[in-house]
Structure 1
Amino acid sequence: MLLPTACTAGVGARDAASWFESEPAGLTTAGVPQRSKILAANGDTIATFFYQNRVDVPLGKIAPIVRQAVLAIEDNRFYEHGAIDLQGTLRALGSNLSNGQVTQGGSGITQQYVKNLLLTQADSDAERAEAKEVTPARKIRELRYAVALEKRLSKDEILRRYLNIAYYGDGAYGIEAAARHYFSKHASELDLTEAALLAGVIRYPYAYDPTRHPGDARKRRDTVLDRMAQLGWLDPAKAASAKEQPIKLDVDNVHSGCVSSKAPFFCDYVQREILTNPVFGKTAKDREKLLKRGGLTIRTTLDRRAQKAAQRAVDKHVPPKNSAHKAAAEAMVEPGTGEIKAMVVDRDLGPDKERGKTWINFAADAGHGSSIGMQAGSTFKAFTLAAALDEGLPFGTRLMAPREYTPVGYRNCDGDRVGDPGASLRNAADGEGGKQFSIVTGTQHSVNTFFLALEKKVGLCDTVRMAERLGMKQANGKPLEEYPAFTLGFNPVSPLRLAAAYAAFGARGKYCKPLAIKEIRDVSGHKLKVPGRDCEQAIDEGVADAVSYVLSGVLTKGTARGMGLGRDAAGKTGTVDNFSAAWFAGYTPDLASAVWVGDPRGGYKHPMESLCMDGRCYGAVFGATIPAPIWKQSMLGALSGTPASSFDRPPSHYFSKGSGEDRAKVPDVRGMELGDAVAKLRGAGFKTRVGKPVESRKYDEGTVAGQSPGSAEPGATITLHVSKGGRDEPGGGPGDGDPRPPVPPVTIPPLPGGRQQAPA
């Protein structure tokens, strides 16, 4: 009956039969959409992506009662007939053709699987329309495919694929996704009434959707139960009892994409990485298809503890719907690996027109979040500092820092003079001037004019090259602009790049590009190619150690005093011109972070000069005002339970001109017992050594009679001379040439705690 429809004039019945029995060219069972999931480092799911919400499972993980219910209502002779159930198919085909529409369903499981397969494999509207059209040609094509599949696959495998491809309404594709969606359980856990309900939905998923049409869904469920009893597959009394039960749903909605994720901006970063990186597909369409249809398991670098700590800190200090309309963002990077451990914005991912939401990822570059970046302020001084130390300048190098500085004589990396003559720059925001500073104190106080002078001494190009070696570029992807104010941070950058650069200091000069994806496996468990770790020794270890030594002082004596973590840590504040934005970037050997606070509407138009936010007024906002407390809180939370690591001591040549600290008056310990004198000097931050004893009539024998120098940098060594006593005759004393009795060896008393001071 079918052959005349399939054949054209002149084709014999034997040739037509041969054509029908042959396997169709291009027949494939691949391409069924599977949902992909993004996992945190610990395996927690942070987002799912799909065109169709489907989770493929083996037949063994589908409850037998489900299989019985589906076969009863859809194709009870499935295991008895071949690819075509002639009785059912001919009846349905004749009715549908005579009516011009589908009025009866007579297709077997294999044919229904083929129909669903062709529909899900369709990539265009035309292909989808072709898969749905009601024509003899379409029906014959499905029958021919069904014959081929019955030769290729077992009955159990065809049934498994059918249960996994069928649509069960309300966005649930496949039996596992349907079980999770309607009942919050796995397909292997479904009971009789639940199985009958889902089996009944398959015929008309929209009409029998239990969330929208519970009455019709129940009637259809009862029809399935009656059919199972009629076939003898279910005891009639049990069927009647099951029909008395109401429909009980426990709906679990799974959303596609990052909007509902607990780490939305990190999720968005990962999504954009896959959609834009050619390693995941030649075209944008290929990459989107891979993500939303490929059933990928994407394991990332996200640390849930760090993410939660950063989000809490940002939201506490800059609430998502704050009265001042300010925003904050933070990125955390692991030194030595480049792994992104956290990425937060103080808003939800969503339309900007809704208060407290934004599509822009302020923590990332334009390519991964649409942000054009923000001026980084004095956090860029770290690159000038690194360039100076890379050229061997010791900590005690001192330069005059005038109250105003007019840049003259700067050259960019092309050798051209830039900013000449430039407008006078002054010490607004973080620092002060009008005197000499060392590399250490100039950094601690963030003195603008000092760093302009240091940049000129080092060379503008060398400073720029240092920043580039540490991965810095503008957030729009363009190279850094080169002008004298480079060290003051006029280039717009992202917190992520800044955090990665500072992470290199914590890793003793090893810079690693930010990395979010550790591994991707496809639906079959095979590993896919992903961008690998990209690290290099950007600066010498000793240079990085010296940077950490200087920046540590920012947290103890400088602009971020009091923001220490109780472990080795270093950082730098940043305040942008006119208080248009504020930053803090800091690190330990284990974790680095950069925090930005500003106004998405435009920092210069809406400065933070007299900021009041949610009932709290700050006045002018510096890097230490809001960003540094965010950094401290988030770092403490992220590092909780992590053993503290220490910075390495810088090479000795950096101390050739002293520690770089300001000189301080040395306490006068003359006349004190040696042990007491040593304890007092050490308490004041100085080291001690014992020199040669001296004669003295003024100070008793055994006490300190002399010390030098009288003023020194903190940490300097003070030499003490112990009195040997002196003659009572007038004029007697040290150096008078009179004979003296032998002096016994000096006994040095123990220090508090029983420790013995050894003479140097």
Structure 2
Amino acid sequence: MLAEARDRAEDGDVHEKGLWRPAESGPPGRGDRARAIRGLGGFGVLAGVLVALIALPTACLTGVGARDAANWFQTDPDDLDTAGVPQRSRILAADGTVIATFFYENRVDVRLDQVAPVLRRAVLAIEDSRFYEHGALDSQGTLRALVSNLGSGEVTQGGSGLTQQYVKNLLFTTAESEEEQLAAKEVSAARKVRELRYAAAMERRFSKDEIFARYLNIAYFGGGAYGIESASRHFFSKPAARLTLPEAALLAGVIRYPYAYDPVRRPGAAKERRDVVINRMAELGWITRPEADAALRRPLGLRIHTTRSGCVTSSAPFFCDYVQREILTNPAFGATAKEREKLLKRGGLTIRTTLDRQTQKAAQRAVDRHVPHKNSAGKAAAEALVEPGTGEIKGLVVDRRLGPDAERGKTWINFAADASHGSSIGMQAGSTFKAFTLAAALEEDMPFGTRLMAPRAFTPTGFRDCAGRSVNSSGALRNSADGEGGKSFSLVTGTHHSVNTFFLALEREVGLCDTVKMAERLGMRQADGKRMGQYPSFTLGAAQVSPLRLAAAYAAFGARGRYCEPVAIKQITDAAGKRLKVPGARCRQVMDRGVADAVNHVLRGVLTKGTARGMGLGRPAAGKTGTVDDFSAAWFAGYTPDLAAAVWVGDPRGGYRYPMTGLCMDGRCYGSVFGATIPAPIWQDSMTGALAGRPASSFNRPPSHYFSKGSGEDRVKLPDVRGMKVDEAVAKLRAAGFRARIGGSVESDEYPEGTVAEMSPEPGQVEPGGTVTLRPSKGGGEPEEPAGPDDPAAPPVTPQPVPPITPGPRPGE
């Protein structure tokens, strides 16, 4: 709206009085010229008043009134503010590429030496050729313009000097209310006197070069371009330093009437005006006649480049939207919403973000491949990717495009973020929350081999919240298709198979309060900003959260218990290059490193033996699937020590109303959708692309006390090797997946010397992959009477040698 107003009001002293208004269809006609001639007389009277006023300080005046008037005119106005000229702000990726631009006025300030000399000459020629010779008011130029305009019957030369024009633009541009804008355009001698006083102050405060640069940076050139640099980029797709004579003359000419001389909508009028500028430059001797003639023959040569404001056309729209909302909602960037919006759209900020373009592109490709934005089933997907140990958001994607929800395949809601950063109320996280119960159990030093019975149905009793209140439920909770009940599981196998009733039992064993506090220490809160509810089904992921919060929590596991608040902004500098304070990640150690190592050890198995088997990355990785009740949504959260990500897939119209059972999407049918069906492949594709070409980091081995009850894997049959020769027994055990070590020999009447007399553990169902201790027999306990030499039946006794056996590694290695 301001641009449109400027199109119609950005004219000189005479023009804004209504003495000449450009016709919609082209340059001024005869009627316009007649009206101009009738009004120019009034302009002459006003010019005389201004000349007299500027002469006041040097005239021989007597009387207090005249002296006070002169003093008033020569003092700087208290309200003179040269700051606040709107500058466009840019959001940059981590590598410095532009993600998006925000502006109230599309303006890029440049120094005078960054503007082509030919452009400077062109502007001076048509606007104020004596700029470097006169003061705040050019009385000679004012009268010359009056005579010229009277002779031509139209306004061909301006009556105000550049300093006055700069002041007029400054007052209009910095106006923050409609009343101030009207005052800046008011047609009155009082306004002109005010502007002239400001101009005199400018001449005292700044050099001519500085005033000229400020004028070029504030002037409106049409097409939404404010300032010469934006105008040059908009009309010719090049910086102002590279403008040619015809291009410079065109831009110099449109300043007076951007709307009437718009080269896109009125190319004929624009060319005529350009030629006036070229001829004026030749008349002043600033270019030669042959140079002018050659320039006059040149076409306009436009190469329009439109700079869009906002996130809609950004290459990372939902990340851009997140950054925008961070600035607009965080009090760190202003006490009020109006102040924060002004900072973003007028402050000329350079906002350097955490976005990694490789990660962003990989994630966007992954969600678009598996859940196309206009898919036939109406489903949606979102993913957030966070760097462990820093909290930096490396990617944030939604399969939809940013735009009106009424249009198919678009949404304004950022499903990857919280309500404060994307209007999303969050989604139930399903079994991904079991990782918090697992972490709480391991923090209490429960070994991997700890086993609990997982019934087919679990009635929540014995649960208390952090206030000690009973929060039981009479309704029975059952296992989803993620896992089965009716038997016992260890911490390891219960997690790998994602058994609901096992985790309900584990949550009761650990304590509901400890489980919830673990999640909160890892930064989890509901998408609406409220704290987590405390109820038995907490471990099953009934809370509505965002992928970003979940990714940041899992990133803490990858960072060995170091949690960082997710951050998108690394640095902000304003138009003057001053760095602004930005909120940090507030990283802190929230659990012992050994506990995190143990969590990582268990969750790694989900990708190799559990519900997400086959979804590995070819490098150390861990994760957890999540399938919400009635297949209303599905999740996968996973990580490496270098990158963590959480993926949600569901239906924005309501997951329970549109469940993912019997799902067919764009010709591909999935049946019922689990966490491993669509979310895990999205995670795998995005992580593989994001980490391509980057060295792999490894997890740390858990502390040995977690193996005190074995590895926690399901039990297998341990073969009986007693009575076998030691080397044969070792070979058989190794073939069955066990390690063997040789203990001390024991006396045995049952087993011959040199064979296995004892084994520990004894044959039966044991943890797989464990170590079996073998004790060879050294014969009977009481020595028998040796056979006499005359006894022919006595065979010679030859001791059996025991082969050297290297002890295997300890459990868990």
The TM-score range, normalised by the shorter chain, is over 0.9
Contact 1:390–1:543, Cα closer than 8 Å, also in 2: yes
Determine which of 49, 54, 62 is the counterpart of 2:107. Answer: 54
Q: Which range moved further: 703-712 or 177-186?
A: 703-712
Instruction: Determine the structure 1 residue equivalent to 2:673.
Output: 621
2:767 to 697, 710, 713: 713
Structure-2 separation of matches of 1:657 and 1:683? 23
Q: CA deviation at 1:549?
A: 1.1
Residues in 2 aligned to 1:355 and 1:679: alpha-carbon distance in whole angstroms: 64
Instruction: Tell me what 1:490 maps to.
Output: 542
The answer as to whether partners of 1:92 and 1:107 remain within 8 angstroms in 2 is no
1:556 aligns with 2:608: yes
1:8-66 CA deviation, whole Å, 9 max, x = no partner? Answer: xx973332222222221221211111111111111111111110111101111111011
1:596 match: secondary structure: strand
Structure-1 residue corresponding to 2:49: 2
8 A Cα contact 2:753 2:800, kept in partner: no
Comparing 319-328 with 503-512, which one deviates more in the overlay? 503-512
Counterpart of 2:426 in structure 1 is 373
1:353 partnered with 2:385: no
Q: In the alignment, which residue of structure 1 is the partner of 2:648?
A: 596
1: CA distance between counterparts of 2:344 and 2:292?
A: 43
Q: In structure 2, how many angstroms separate the alpha carbons of the residues matched to 1:92 and 1:72?
A: 13
In the other structure, the counterpart of 1:656 is 708
Mapped partners of 1:506, 1:339: distance in 2: 14
Q: Against the structure 1 CA distance between its residues 458 and 20, is the aligned structure 2 distance closer, same or farther, given a 3 Å change threshold?
A: same
Pick aligned residue for 1:142 from 184, 187, 195: 195
What pairs up with 1:65-214 in 2 under 5 angstroms? 65-89=118-142, 105-214=158-267
**Alignment check: 8 A CA contact 2:740 2:807 kept:** no
CA distance in 2, matches of 1:680, 1:161: 88
Contact 1:5 1:136 (C-alpha < 8 Å) held by counterparts: no
Picking from 232, 238, 256, the partner of 2:309 is: 256
Deviates more, 1:672-681 or 1:268-277: 672-681
Aligned to 1:463: 515
Change (3 A) 1:302 1:758: closer
Q: For 1:737 and 1:408, locate their aligned partners in 2 and report how far apart those are by CA, in whole Å.
A: 63
Aligned partners of 2:130 and 2:141 also within 8 Å: no
C-alpha offsets along residues 336-377 of structure 1, whole Å, 9 cap, x if unaligned? 111111100001111000111100000000000000000000
TM-score by length of 2: 0.86
Structure 1 residue 331: Cα displacement: 0.4
- Tell me the SS of whatever aligns to 2:664: strand
Q: 1:426 aligns with which of 478, 481, 484?
A: 478
**Shift of residue 455 of structure 1?**
0.8
Letter in 1 for 2:555: A
Q: Which whole-Å CA distance do the structure 2 matches of 1:181 and 1:264 have between them?
A: 23
Helix, strand or coil: the match of 1:271? helix
Does residue 1:638 correspond to 2:690, yes or no? yes
Paired residues of 1:56 and 1:174 also in contact (CA < 8 A): yes
| Cα offsets for 1:182-213 (capped at 9, x unmatched) | 11111111111111111111111111111221
Partner of 1:574: 626
Other structure's SS at 2:579 match:
coil
The 2-side partners of 1:141 and 1:343 are apart by 51
Distance in 2, Cα, partners of 1:475 & 1:461: 20
Give the residue type in structure 2 aligned to 1:565. Answer: L
The 8 Å contact of residues 674 and 748 in structure 1, kept in 2 or not, is answered as no
The aligned residue for residue 240 of structure 1 is 293
Whole-Å separation in 2 of the counterparts to 1:453 and 1:698:
46
Change in 2 beyond 3 A, CA 1:436/1:118: same
Structure 1 residue 74: Cα displacement: 0.8
| Structure 2 unaligned residues grouped into runs of 5+ | 1-47, 57-62, 787-795
Which residue does the alignment assign to 1:219?
A: 272
- Deviations for 1:444-502, whole angstroms, at most 9, x for unmatched residues? 10000111111111111111111111111110011111111111111100000011111
Q: Is the 8 A contact 1:102 1:134 kept in 2?
A: no
> May I ask how many residue pairs the two structures share in their alignment?
740
1-structure distance, mates of 2:149, 2:508: 86
Query: By how many angstroms is 1:409 displaced?
Result: 2.3
Instruction: Judge conservation of contact 2:722–2:755 (CA < 8 Å) in 1.
Output: yes
Give the Cα separation in 2 of the matches to 1:292 and 1:42. Answer: 23
Establish whether residue 500 from structure 1 lines up as the match of residue 500 from structure 2.
no
Instruction: Give the corresponding residue for 1:728.
Output: none
Range 552-561 or range 103-112, more displaced: 103-112
AA aligned opposite 1:2: V
Which secondary structure state, in structure 2, belongs to the residue aligned with residue 443 of structure 1? helix
Provide, for residues 482-523 of structure 1, a one-character-per-residue CA deviation record: whole Å limited to 9, x for no partner. 111111111100000011111111111111111111111111
Note if contact 1:350-1:357 (Cα within 8 Å) is conserved in structure 2: yes
Q: In structure 2, how many angstroms separate the alpha carbons of the residues matched to 1:414 and 1:702? A: 64
- Which of 282, 297, 320 matches 2:373? 320
State the distance in 1 between where 2:278 and 2:522 align: 68
Contact 2:128–2:158 under 8 Å retained in 1 = no
Structure 2 CA distance for aligned equivalents of residues 58 and 672 of structure 1: 91
CA distance in 1, matches of 2:100, 2:240: 22
List aligned pairs for 1:22-33, cutoff 5 A: 22-33=75-86
Say if 2:616 and 2:684, in contact at 8 Å, map to a contact too.
Answer: yes
Q: How far did residue 94 of structure 1 move?
A: 11
Q: CA deviation at 1:389?
A: 1.1
Letter in 1 for 2:288: D
Equivalent residue letter for 1:246: P
SS in 1 for 2:220: coil
Alignment partner, residue 748 of structure 1:
804
Q: Once the 2 structures are TM-superposed, how far is the Cα of residue 322 of structure 1 from its aligned partner? A: 0.3
Give me the whole-angstrom Cα distance separating, in 2, the residues matched to 1:446 and 1:346: 28
Q: Secondary structure at the match of 1:413?
A: coil
Taking structure 1 as reference, are residues 684 and 226 closer, same or farther at Cα in structure 2, changes over 3 Å only?
farther
Residue aligned with 2:83, SS = coil
Q: Is the 8 A contact 2:749 2:781 kept in 1?
A: no
Asked if the contact 2:634–2:675 (Cα under 8 Å) also holds between the matched residues in 1, the reply is: yes
| 1:533 Cα offset (Å) | 2.6
**1:293 partnered with 2:355:** no
In the other structure, the counterpart of 1:450 is: 502
Go from structure 1 to structure 2 and tell me whether the alpha carbon gap of 1:5 and 1:187 turns closer, same or farther (over 3 Å shift).
Answer: closer
Q: What percentage of residue pairs aligned between the two structures are identical?
A: 72
RMSD of the alignment, in Å? 2.7
How far apart, in 2, do the equivalents of 1:674 and 1:176 lie?
87
How far apart are the structure 1 equivalents of 2:686 and 2:732? 38
The secondary structure found in structure 1 opposite 2:304 is coil
Cα distance between partner residues in 2 of 1:382 and 1:178? 55
1:125 shift after superposition? 0.8
Larger Rg belongs to: 2
C-alpha distance in structure 2 between counterparts of 1:262 and 1:718, whole Å: 59
Q: Does 1:512 align with 2:568?
A: no
Task: Give the secondary-structure state (helix, strand or coil) at the position aligned to 1:148.
Answer: helix
TM-score, length of structure 1 as denominator length: 0.92
Letter in 1 for 2:680: A
Judged with a 3 Å threshold, the aligned counterparts in structure 2 of structure 1 residues 700 and 734 are, in CA distance, closer, same or farther, namely closer
Please give the alpha-carbon distance, in whole angstroms, between the structure 2 residues aligned to 1:230 and 1:104: 14
Q: Give the structure 2 partner of residue 396 of structure 1.
A: 449
2:199 aligns to what SS in structure 1?
A: helix
Give the CA deviation at 1:745: 5.4
Instruction: Provide the rounded CA distance (Å) in 1 between the counterparts of 2:470 and 2:103.
Output: 55
